[in-house]
Amino acid sequence: MEVLEALRTRRSIRKYTKEEIPEGDIRIIIEAAMSGPSAANSQPWHFIIIKSRSILNEIPKASPYAQMAKDAAIAIVVCGDPKLDRISQFWQQDCSIAAQNILLAAHSLGYGAVWTGAYPLEDRYKNLQKLLGIPSNIIPLAVIPIGKPAEIKEGNKPYLEDRVHLDKW
Say what the pLDDT of residue 86 is.
87
156 pLDDT band, cuts 50/70/90, is confident
Return d(Cα 109, Cα 87) in angstroms, integer.
33
Considering only CA atoms, which of 131, 113, 121, 112 is closest in space to residue 60?
Answer: 131
Considering only CA atoms, which of 144, 154, 122, 131 is closest in space to residue 47?
Answer: 144
Whether domain 3-150 has CATH 3.90.226.10: the reply is no
Residue percentage of the chain with pLDDT more than 70: 100
The region of weakest confidence among 45-59, 96-110, 148-162 is 148-162
Query: Model confidence over 91-123: pLDDT tens digits?
Result: 999 999 999 999 999 999 999 999 999 999 999
Query: Model confidence over 4-19: pLDDT tens digits?
Result: 999 999 999 999 999 9
How many CA atoms lie within 13 Å of 166's alpha carbon, on the beta-carbon side? 1
Q: Where are the domains of the chain?
A: 3-150
76 pLDDT band, cuts 50/70/90, is very high
**Does residue 49 have a pLDDT over 90?**
yes
